[in-house]
Amino acid sequence: MAFGFIKKVFSFGKKEAVEQPAEDEVLPPLNFDALKALRPAEEAPAETPSPLRGGSIDEVDRGGVVAELEVTPSGPADHLPLKEGEETAPQTPQPVVPEPKPAEQPVPVEPAPQPAPPEEPKPEPAPEVPAPEPEKPAEQPAPAPSPVEPEPAPAEVPVLPEEPSVPEVPEEVPAQPAPLAPEPTMRAPEPEPVAPAIPLHLEGKVAAQRPGGVVGSSDATPSVAETIPPGPSDHLPLKGGEDAQPSPVAEAPAPKPSAGKVTVQKKVEQKAEVVEVAAPAPRQSWFQRLRQGLSRSSKELSGNIAGIFTKRKLDEDTLQDLEDVLIRADLGVETALRVTDALASTRYGKDVSDHEVRSIMAVEIEKVLTHVAVPLELDLSHKPHVILVVGVNGTGKTTTIGKLAAKLTEGGLSVMLAAGDTFRAAAIEQLKIWGERTKSPVIASKLGADAAGLAYDAFEKAKEAGSDVLIIDTAGRLQNKTELMAELEKIVRVLGKLDPEAPHTVLQTVDATTGQNALNQVEIFRNIAGVNGLVMTKLDGTARGGILVAIAAKHKLPVYFIGVGEQVDDLEPFSASDFAKAIAGVA
Ligand SMILES: Nc1nc2c(ncn2[C@@H]2O[C@H](COP(=O)(O)OP(=O)(O)OP(=O)(O)O)[C@@H](O)[C@H]2O)c(=O)[nH]1
């Protein structure tokens, strides 16, 4: 029964699902009632897993749609209610209650009674452990709305304590009450100034600032996604009293790129138009930073090469030794052979200095990298141009999103961010912080929500807001490939409902410190999500920077940027020449 319902909803897309079918089929589901009667405690667990963990693709499809529908304020309650009729009713009223007040008190109360005990512990402590959630696929999609209330409460509560970086929020919290109060009651107030750019909901505020504000936050607006305005006083906003009004990026930067393609390098550059040219100075410092970042890789490589070519002519043995050194440096067999072949073709039988070897190595590495050193191009004819960011947990997805958003907003583009990693409260909060920094609205949901539903909702909101770019963060629980695959596939499929070409760019972040394992990661995500571009992160301080060369040689995917630090400006467009020289240790 539930499947039949879900299927209908899915086939017609978000809006249609809201229609009648839901009700008709809803009635039949007598099983749920029976189940509930038998085991009331199970309600909670079912909700939490709501996400995607359906397992089968079919389930994913249905679930995606359902979730989306639920998210949408228009008709979410229709279908979902079936299972959790009780929850549906409370949702409507709840939002009202919590909003007027600070929300801190109500939050703790609700979570305790409603949410089942098992759910809270699972998502929070071990966000990556999908075990429990995946098992309730079919029901999750539909229940999405209801779970909203119970799930968020438990999830967010831990969020605050977990995040060390958010300590500032509590301090300024006192100031927030004032701004918050008006929002819930009069939604219009805050959004108004921003209205032209982003007519979104402001629930995010509640969720972000209050530890237990979950209930209020999620209920306030759509069941799933919550929009966190760019500069306003959401969570961090405390200070940003000023930020609250200035809407996104659109206002400040004068040069607002028009529809068409733009190139994102050091800054956004619009084709065929005069754009501010980055000062040459930073280029120089950048190379120095690159060299410094790759110094460990370079020193180790140079040292080993010097050890081989000290007072030795180039012969088979030295060539073999060199090949071994290059392979151990993670450059890959292909590149190692290129270097040794190039060396042998001109210097065989002659005395060769380590510097000569490194110079030839730099030339050969540059040849391999030249083809992948491509600037990121955004097609602004898409409103928005959707960038899906994937990658294993901890590889730097969220940080890279923040850095990229900064580049885009500085270039005059309006950006919206979507916290698609719904399994880690910290990841959601981290993205919100980046949204604050870059004055980019963030679409988030409660912990454990359907990532695909969130992505869909964010896409719709970005369209409504007229955003130039929508960047979607995702979870990277490679530990469970089946779930990860289902989730990413579902996200891509759902986005395609709004735009067959979306996502327009699928970026994968690759942690250089992982060495050879990075090769497999690219292989996996390329197959799962259709990765069409890479960002190599953490090249600073690693002795395994050579892996970038191996990845380039094997996958031949564009490397748009490289990260050499955690700061907002530590993301630079990839330069084959600079990288080759830096890692080879030649000027
Ligand atoms: N040194 C260095 N650290 C980086 C770089 N990029 C990201 N980091 C750090 O790596 C850690 C993980 O980064 P995240 O952006 O949270 O990675 P993620 O892939 O979003 O991780 P999950 O949220 O767990 O999925 C953070 O401490 C970042 O500050 C980089 O280029 N260099």
Q: How far is CA 373 from CA 100, 401, 533, 572, in A?
A: 52, 19, 10, 11
Confidence of residue 226 (pLDDT cuts 50, 70, 90): low
Mutate to test the pocket of ligand 1, among 421, 429, 566 (most ligand atoms within 8 A of CB): 566
Residue-averaged pLDDT of the chain: 64
Closest CA to 44 of 160, 138, 148, 157: 148
Mutate to test the pocket of ligand 1, among 128, 399, 542, 561 (most ligand atoms within 8 A of CB): 399
Centroid of ligand 1 to alpha carbon of 393 (angstroms): 8
CB of residue 395 inside a 6 A radius of ligand 1: yes
DSSP states of 403-431 as a string? HHHHHHHHTT--EEEE---TT-HHHHHHH
Average pLDDT over residues 227-253: 38
CB 550 within 8 A of CB 523: no
Average pLDDT over residues 207-230: 36
Domain boundaries, the chain: 296-370
Residue 122 pLDDT? 40
What ipTM was reported for this prediction?
0.96
Average pLDDT over residues 63-84: 32
Average pLDDT over residues 278-297: 64
CB of residue 566 inside a 6 A radius of ligand 1: yes
CB of residue 298 inside a 6 A radius of ligand 1: no
CB of residue 205 inside a 6 A radius of ligand 1: no
Residue 115 pLDDT? 40
CB of residue 81 inside a 6 A radius of ligand 1: no
Confidence of residue 150 (pLDDT cuts 50, 70, 90): very low
Residues at the binding site for GTP are 391-398, 473-477, 537-540
Does the pLDDT of residue 585 top 50, yes or no? yes
Residue 285 pLDDT? 59
Ligand 1 atom 1: the closest Cα is on which residue? 565
Which residue has better confidence, 533 or 76? Answer: 533
Which residue has better confidence, 147 or 304? Answer: 304
The model's pLDDT over 159-187, given as tens digits with 9 standing for 90+, comes to 333 333 333 333 333 333 333 333 333 33
The answer for 341, left when phi > 0, alpha when psi is -120 to 50, beta otherwise, is: alpha
Looking at 280-284, 381-385, 393-397, which range is the least confident one?
A: 280-284
Centroid of ligand 1 to alpha carbon of 27 (angstroms): 47
Closest CA to 533 of 509, 499, 566: 509
Residue 566 pLDDT? 87
Residue 236 pLDDT? 32
Does the pLDDT of residue 194 top 70, yes or no? no
Average pLDDT over residues 258-272: 68
Place of tokens 């580049």: 407
Residue 371 pLDDT? 92
Confidence of residue 476 (pLDDT cuts 50, 70, 90): confident
Residue 584 pLDDT? 87
Does the pLDDT of residue 400 top 80, yes or no? yes
Closest CA to 99 of 239, 219, 248, 10: 219
Average pLDDT over residues 552-565: 92
Does the pLDDT of residue 125 top 60, yes or no? no
Confidence of residue 278 (pLDDT cuts 50, 70, 90): low
Does the pLDDT of residue 379 top 80, yes or no? yes
The model's pLDDT over 438-466, given as tens digits with 9 standing for 90+, comes to 999 999 988 878 899 999 999 999 999 99
Average pLDDT over residues 503-518: 92
CB 232 within 8 A of CB 202: yes
- Per-residue burial over 491-519, b if 16 or more Cβ lie within 10 Å, else e, is bbbbbebbbeebbbbbbbbbbbbbbeebb
Does the pLDDT of residue 31 top 50, yes or no? no
Centroid of ligand 1 to alpha carbon of 574 (angstroms): 18
Closest CA to 48 of 111, 91, 103: 111
Does the pLDDT of residue 121 top 80, yes or no? no
CB of residue 564 inside a 6 A radius of ligand 1: yes
Structure tokens at 183: 């929002």
Residue 388 pLDDT? 96
Does the pLDDT of residue 543 top 70, yes or no? yes
Residue 443 pLDDT? 93
Does the pLDDT of residue 326 top 70, yes or no? yes
Does the pLDDT of residue 103 top 60, yes or no? no
Q: How far is CA 51 from CA 12, 99, 374, 487, 571, in A?
A: 20, 26, 36, 9, 32
Give the number of the atom of ligand 1 that is nearest the alpha carbon of residue 430: 16
Looking at 140-144, 170-174, 215-219, 553-557, which range is the least confident one?
A: 215-219
Long-range Cβ pairs for the range 97-100 (8 Å, 24+): 97/216, 98/184, 98/206, 98/213, 98/215, 98/216, 98/217, 98/219, 98/220, 99/183, 99/184, 99/185, 99/206, 99/216, 99/220, 100/181, 100/184, 100/185
- Against a cut of 0.80, is the pTM above it? no
CB of residue 427 inside a 6 A radius of ligand 1: yes
Does the pLDDT of residue 470 top 80, yes or no? yes
Residue 228 pLDDT? 54
Residue 276 pLDDT? 60
Confidence of residue 292 (pLDDT cuts 50, 70, 90): confident
Which residue has better confidence, 61 or 512? Answer: 512
The model's pLDDT over 51-68, given as tens digits with 9 standing for 90+, comes to 333 333 233 333 332 233
Average pLDDT over residues 24-34: 42
Residue 519 pLDDT? 92
Does the pLDDT of residue 510 top 60, yes or no? yes
Give the number of the atom of ligand 1 that is nearest the alpha carbon of residue 476: 25
Which residue has better confidence, 127 or 484? Answer: 484
Centroid of ligand 1 to alpha carbon of 557 (angstroms): 21
Q: Which CATH architecture has domain 296-370?
A: Up-down Bundle (1.20)
Cα distance between residue 109 and residue 101, in whole Å: 14
Residue 230 pLDDT? 52
Confidence of residue 483 (pLDDT cuts 50, 70, 90): confident
CB of residue 391 inside a 6 A radius of ligand 1: yes
